[in-house]
């Protein structure tokens, strides 16, 4: 049986290896994102080398850090059209806009990617576009939902239909870079509930335990470590399974089988 490889680099940055494709979500590859600092050492170049594409959910600095993105060279960087236009104008030659109903085929593989809704309109930036989305990643036998940053919304229940079948893996945010979340985010309990809403077979919490502001020394002790374990408890209450990783940790998930393909309307150009 083949496997899906997952390497959580911290915060919203995940390396996915499936069906011959390597995809990188919201890459934060340096020690900082603006004023925010990483608690542990940044990823090594070998951790994310060879990516076929980077998936950018939105342009907040902790999700689209320009210094990190420039390390990718001409790797395709997929985001909403307005975001991609802005990224291309700031030194990202691989920036490509992908529309809300568009499937993007990873060259040379059976893997397809499309954006999906994310509700994350709080704290709009005056100097960058504010388009937001998550992504569906579909390969034979495996369907992955990368939620991006989002609040819950009822149409999440439609994600399996958009993916052409059950969501096998959900990558869901459960925290942030402070002990309190602003609007447009999921707390651990909400994240578990949306995993149940989409019927996720397995879930991995992200967007926690990684970044902090310089003032965090004055914040309640242990706040950075609560999101993942709290999500695990809430997920178990929903009757679902998941894996709580530490930044830098890897996971291999079996692919149920290659008989389940991609949606009928997904085809290479």
* Per-residue model confidence as pLDDT tens for the chain (269 residues): 689 999 999 999 999 999 999 999 999 999 988 888 888 889 999 999 999 999 999 999 889 999 999 999 999 999 999 999 999 999 999 999 999 989 999 999 999 999 999 998 677 778 899 999 999 999 999 999 999 999 999 999 999 999 999 999 999 999 876 666 666 679 999 999 999 999 999 999 999 988 888 765 666 667 778 999 999 999 999 999 999 999 999 999 998 765 444 444 443 32
Residues found in the chain: 269
pLDDT of residue 1: 64
Asked whether residue 172 is assigned to any structural domain, the reply reads yes
Asked whether residue 185 is assigned to any structural domain, the reply reads yes
pLDDT of residue 120: 80
- Residue 105's domain is classified under what CATH number? 3.60.15.10
Which has the closest alpha carbon to 262: 184, 147, 164, 129?
A: 164
Asked whether residue 267 is assigned to any structural domain, the reply reads no
pLDDT of residue 121: 66
Asked whether residue 150 is assigned to any structural domain, the reply reads yes
SS3 128: coil
Asked whether residue 111 is assigned to any structural domain, the reply reads yes
Asked whether residue 183 is assigned to any structural domain, the reply reads yes
pLDDT of residue 260: 46
Angle between helical axes of 188-198 and 227-237 (0-180°, round to 10): 40
- Phi first, then psi: give them for residue 72, nearest 5 degrees: -80, -5
Contact 132, 123 (CB under 8 A): no
Mean of the per-residue pLDDT values of the chain: 89
pLDDT digits (tens, 9 = 90+) for 221-258: 677 789 999 999 999 999 999 999 999 999 999 987 65
Which has the closest alpha carbon to 209: 8, 5, 60, 24?
A: 8
Taken in order 113, 119, 125, 127, the sign of the CA dihedral is positive
Contact 119, 153 (CB under 8 A): yes
**Angle at CA 209, nearest 5°, toward 153 and 170?**
40
Asked whether residue 261 is assigned to any structural domain, the reply reads no
Asked whether residue 269 is assigned to any structural domain, the reply reads no
Q: How many Å from the N-terminal Cα to the C-terminal Cα in the chain? A: 29
pLDDT of residue 37: 86
Domain count, the chain: 1
Residue 58's domain comprises: 3-254
């Amino acid at each position: 049986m083949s496997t899906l490889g997952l390497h959580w680099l911290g915060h919203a940055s995940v390396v996915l290896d499936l069906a011959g494709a390597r995809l990188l979500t919201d890459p934060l590859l340096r020690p900082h994102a603006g004023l925010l600092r990483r608690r542990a050492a940044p990823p090594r170049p070998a951790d994310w080398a060879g990516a076929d594409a980077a998936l950018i959910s939105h342009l907040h600095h902790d999700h689209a850090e320009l210094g990190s993105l420039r390390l990718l060279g001409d790797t395709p960087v997929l985001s909403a059209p307005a975001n991609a236009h802005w990224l291309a104008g700031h030194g990202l030659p691989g920036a490509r806009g992908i529309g809300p109903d568009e499937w993007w085929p990873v060259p040379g593989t059976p893997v397809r990617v499309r954006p999906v809704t994310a509700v994350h309109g709080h704290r709009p930036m005056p100097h960058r576009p504010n388009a937001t989305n998550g992504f569906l990643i579909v390969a034979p036998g495996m369907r992955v939902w990368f939620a991006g940053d989002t609040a819950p919304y009822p149409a999440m229940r439609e994600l399996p239909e958009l993916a052409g079948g059950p969501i096998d893996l959900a990558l869901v945010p459960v925290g942030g870079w402070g002990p309190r979340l602003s609007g447009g985010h999921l707390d651990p309990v909400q994240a578990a509930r949306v995993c149940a809403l989409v019927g996720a077979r397995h879930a991995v919490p992200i967007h926690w335990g990684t970044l902090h502001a310089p003032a965090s020394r004055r914040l309640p002790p242990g706040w950075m470590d609560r999101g993942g374990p709290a999500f695990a408890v809430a997920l178990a209450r929903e009757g679902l399974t998941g894996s709580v990783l530490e930044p830098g940790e890897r996971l291999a998930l079996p692919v149920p089988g290659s008989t389940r393909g991609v949606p009928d309307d997904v085809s290479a150009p």
